[in-house]
Amino acid sequence: MRVCVPVCEKDLDALRSACDRAAEFSDLIELRLDCLDKFPTGLEDLVNGLSRPLILTFRSSEQGGYRHSTREERKTFWTSIAPRAQAIWWDVEGDLVNDLSPDWSRVIASHHDFSGVPADLDQIYERLASTPAAVLKIAVQANDITDCIPVFHLLERGRKQGREVVAIAMGNAGIATRVLGPSRGSFLTYGALDDDRATAPGQLTARKLRSLYHLDQIDNETMICGLVGLPVMHSVSPHIHNSAFEAKGINGVYLPFEVKDVNQFFKRMVHPRTRELNWNLRGLSVTAPHKQMVMALLDWIESDAKEIGAVNTVVIENERLLGYNTDAAGFIEPLLSRFESLIGNQVALIGAGGAARAVIWALQRQKAIVTLYARDVTKAKPLAEAFNVDCRPLASAFFDGCDLVINATPVGSGAYIDQSPVAPEQLRGARCVYDLIYNPAETRLMRDAKDAGCEILGGTEMLIAQAQLQFQLWTTRNLL
C-alpha cells in the first residue's frame, strides 16, 4: 500500500524541512510546486537529497493549484526545468499531457473536479487513458457518500484493463475511497503531513491512515463497519473500534460515513440485494440525524428498538439488514453504577431526537419520572406523547430539586462546542448533570454544573458501553 504525503510550502528551505518530516510515514513524497511563491527553479539539490521517491506537481489554479500560473509557465517547467530521474514521477494535468515528450513510464496524467462528480466521468477516464501515461489519476468532490460509487468503479475498470489508476473522492463524504482505495487497486493514496496541512478536502493524515485505519492490513477480505451520520468526523468511534479490531486480531476496519441521503446510501451501498459495490460490509453505527429514518430501510428490528423507536446499530447478515438499539443499555449502565436505584427519581431530559427516545425508554424501565424539555415544545410533543411524559419549554425551566438533568442534544460539541443548552442559573439545586456528549470530554454544560454544585457525568462511559454491545453484534466478541 503506497501512501504519498504532499508537501506544500512557500520556499525551498521550508519544502526541504517538510520533506524530512514526511519521510517518516510516506512511501512517496509529492512536491506541490504550485505552493512556492516563485516559479519553481533550483530543485536539483532538494531532489537529490531526499530519501523517498518523488511526485512533482505544478498544478494549475483551475485544478486546485495554490497560486495562479499560466499554461505556458507550466509547459515551460515540464519541458525545460523539471528534474528527471528514475525516482521522480511527474503529475501532469490532462490539458498538458499531449504537449510533452517525457519518460511516460514516470508520468501520472491527472484530472481534478472540486465541484462534484462530472457527468462525463467515463469520457474523462478514456481521454486520460488514450495517453501513454503510466498512471491515470482522477479526483472528484464527493458531496454525499454515494459519490464514492463511480470512483470505486473507476478503480475496478482500471484493474480489469490492466491500467494503474488513482481514483479519489475528495471531501469528508469520500473518506472511504482514501482508506479502501489501495486494497481495491489504487496505485496510491494521499495522506497529509499534519491535520492542518491537507492539500485537498477530506485528506486524512498519513499517520492516521497507518496507525488508526491500519491501511497496510486492509485487503478484499477485510470486514468493513462504519458510522452513518451527518456530521461524523468529530466522532471517536473509529478509534474505539479500530483499536478493538487490532487487539482482537480481526481483519476489520471502521470508517466514518458522512451521509446526507440515507435512503440512497442504504439502497446503493448497504443492502446486499441492491448495492452497487462488492465490499464486505458487516455493520453500521447510526447517529444523528438518521436513527429513526433508518428503521424503514431494515428487514428486521429487535423488539426493544421498536419500542424505543430508534436504531443505532445495523448488522448485515445473510442478505438481510438487522436493526438494534445499544444506546439505551449504554446510557443506563453508568447511571446504575452511581445510583443505587432510579425508582422515583425526578429526571429532566433536554432534547427530543433519537438519543432522547432511548433515554426515556431506559429511564422508564428503571421507574424514574421523566419530564421532557425542549426549545420547541411543538416539535417535541410527539415524543412526549409516545412515552406519556410531560413536555415543557426549556427556556423557562429551572431544575432545582431534580435528581438528574440529562443533555441529549448536540449542543456542546461540533459547531456548538462553546455553548450550553441551558443557562448556569437553571442548574442550581440539581443533584447530577449527565451530558451524553463525549467530545469534548468536559463540555460547557458540565463546567457550569460543577460551578453550580452538581455532580457531573460525561458521555464517554455511555459511548464505550454502547460500542461494546455493537462490537459484539458485529463480531460475537467482546470489545475490551
DSSP labels for 194-263? SGGG-SSTT--BHHHHHHTS-GGG--TT-EEEEEEESS-TT--HHHHHHHHHHHTT--EEEEEEE-S-HH
Peptide bond into 53 cis (omega under 30): no
Q: Which amino acid is at 175?
A: I
Q: Which amino acid is at 91?
A: D
Q: Check if the beta carbon of residue 22 is closer than 8 Å to that of residue 193.
A: yes
Q: Which of 237, 251, 240 is nearest to 282 (CA)?
A: 251
What gap in Å lies between CA 332 and CA 465, rounded to an integer? 9
Which grid cell is 356?
432522547
Q: For the chain, how far is it from start to end, CA to CA, in angstroms?
A: 29
DSSP labels for 314-376? EEEETTEEEEE--HHHHHHHHHHTT-S--TT-EEEEE--SHHHHHHHHHHHHTT-EEEEEES-
What gap in Å lies between CA 284 and CA 295, rounded to an integer? 13
The yes-or-no answer on residue 291 being catalytic is yes
What gap in Å lies between CA 39 and CA 48, rounded to an integer? 19
Q: Count Cβ atoms below 10 Å from residue 324 Cβ, excluding itself.
A: 22
Q: Which of 71, 169, 82, 51 is nearest to 118 (CA)?
A: 169
Q: Count Cβ atoms below 10 Å from residue 164 Cβ, excluding itself.
A: 16
Q: Residues, the chain, total? A: 480
Q: Check if the beta carbon of residue 206 is closer than 8 Å to that of residue 5.
A: yes
Which grid cell is 377?
415544545
Q: Check if the beta carbon of residue 56 is closer than 8 Å to that of residue 85.
A: no
Q: Check if the beta carbon of residue 448 is closer than 8 Å to that of residue 420.
A: yes
**Among 291, 306, 381, 450, which one carries the catalytic annotation?**
291
Q: Which amino acids are annotated catalytic?
A: 291
